Every structure is written in structure tokens, then in C-alpha cells.
Amino acid sequence: MNQLQLAEQMAPAIRMIYAPDGRAVVSYSKEGDEDASLYTCESRWKEDFTAFCNGNTADKETVQVDGIGYFTVKREKNSEALSGKIAVVTGSAQGFGAHIAQYLCSMGARVVLADMNYDGVCARAADLSKTYGVATLPVLVNVSNEDSVREMIQKTVLSFGGLDIFINNAGIVRAGSLEEMTKENFELVTSVDYTAYFLCVKYAHEDTACMCAGLYGGHY
């Protein structure tokens, strides 16, 4: 397992040890703050961090794990229903996905806006952060590509410390009669609407027991 994969496993655990109700976010960086409040190592970070958190009510701490990097954990103080929760919405550059992302931000969630249209999610994410005062992260993804999905989940976990809500919204429609529909179109729809759902749930589930939702029957 490489350094980033180890960090990806540690970040959600750090978040839950610090705030068992999940109302906290963790950001990871390879290089970091020299003034980390706890210095520990890979073999005993969990014990050290658990002891460090006992009775600790600080809003923010940084822990340095030797050879892995720096984890900054911040407690969420706002009281909206989803404050401190972390959500991914695929296909959120426009349409339903963009509005679901907006709704989640309005409820206080940190939202990862993921789409093939990177310029679209960058603009949307910036707009939502400005309007609702919450952190957002635009991510380029092709949900039918396994490496791309794995990378989307890794970026989410290393930026925010976990994943609580996954909205499997990205999808396409290519409809037609048997005469009109080509095998290529059928396979394209299958890869984006069905295979992608499997890939997203597979990698989202590996990081956390998140809640996954699709927009219509075929997505479940």
C-alpha cells in the first residue's frame, strides 16, 4: 500500500476518533505544518491519537504521522442538518445534479461536485461556496472508468476526511427503436448508467459506510 492509500485509510478513522458524531472534516497533505500538535508514527498512530483526543475539545488540531503526512482535523460548529457531513454528487455540472449539490450545500454539507465537464463543476462549486459559505471540491471524473472513480473517492477522502452521502446522478439517455439503436449506443448507456453505478458504490463503500442513492430505478 502506498503513502496516499495509507492516508486514505487513516483520514476517516481520524475524523471519527476526533468527532464520533461525524461532525468534523479532515484534510490531508504530504507536506505540512511544522507545528503539528501531535507527532506519531504508522505503527501506533491510532492509540496515540485516541489518547490525545481524550477530553480534547479544541476546534482544530494537526497530527503528523511519520512517513505519511499531516492531517488537520476541524470540528464543525454550525448547526445546519448536514453541517460537517461530506457528500459526492456525480454529474453535478448541470441539471438535477447541480441542484442536488446546491440543496446539500444549503444544508451545510461539504460537497464534491464530480463531472466529465470539469469547467462546469469548477464554476458551480465556486458559486455554491460563495453563496452558502461551505467548502466544495470540483473533481473531473468519468464514472464509467474504474481508475477515474477510484481517484474521485480518494480525492474526496483526502480533502474532507470521509464520505457520508453519495448521489449517483451522472447518467445519459440514448433511446430509440431496435432499428435506430446501435450496439455502440447500447454499450455506452450500459457503461454510464449501470457499470458506473457498480464502480461508484464499490469504491465509495471501501472508504466508509456511506448512504448511496440513484435517481431512478435502474440505478439501484
Ligand X SMILES: NC(=O)c1ccc[n+]([C@@H]2O[C@H](COP(=O)([O-])OP(=O)(O)OC[C@H]3O[C@@H](n4cnc5c(N)ncnc54)[C@H](O)[C@@H]3O)[C@@H](O)[C@H]2O)c1
Stretch of 24-32, 70-78, 103-111, 166-174 lying at the interface with ligand X (CB under 6 A): 166-174
Q: Are 207 and 28 in contact (CB under 8 A)?
A: no
Nearest to 29 by CA among 3, 59, 57, 1: 3
Nearer Cβ to ligand X (122/215): 215
Q: Does 125 bind ligand X (CB under 6 A)?
A: no
Out of 115, 125, 152, 160, name the contact with ligand X by CB under 6 A.
Answer: 115
Nearer Cβ to ligand X (78/94): 94
Q: Are 106 and 58 in contact (CB under 8 A)?
A: no
Per-residue contact flags (x/-) with ligand X for residues 129 to 148, judged by CB under 6 A = ------------xxxx----
Region label for 164, one of left (φ > 0), alpha (ψ between -120 and 50) or beta (otherwise) = alpha
State in angstroms the smallest separation of the CB of 34 from ligand X. 39
Q: Does 9 bind ligand X (CB under 6 A)?
A: no
Residue ranges of alpha helices (H) inside the chain are 3-18, 45-53, 95-106, 118-132, 146-160, 183-190, 196-207
Nearest to 14 by CA among 207, 206, 211: 207
Q: Does 185 bind ligand X (CB under 6 A)?
A: no
Q: Does 176 bind ligand X (CB under 6 A)?
A: no
For residues 189-208, which are near ligand X according to CB under 6 A? 192
Q: Provide CB contacts within 8 A for 21, sequence distance 6+.
A: none
How far is 139 from 205, CA to CA, in rounded Å?
Answer: 19
Nearer Cβ to ligand X (128/143): 143
Q: Does 93 bind ligand X (CB under 6 A)?
A: yes
Collapse the DSSP code of 215 into the 3-class scheme (helix H, G, I; strand E, B; otherwise coil) and give the result.
coil
Q: Does 89 bind ligand X (CB under 6 A)?
A: no
State in angstroms the smallest separation of the CB of 143 from ligand X. 4
Q: Does 97 bind ligand X (CB under 6 A)?
A: yes
How many CB atoms lie under 10 A from the CB of residue 83? 15
Nearer Cβ to ligand X (121/163): 121
Where on the chain is the footprint of ligand X (CB under 6 A)?
A: 90-91, 93-97, 115-117, 141-144, 169-173, 192, 215-216
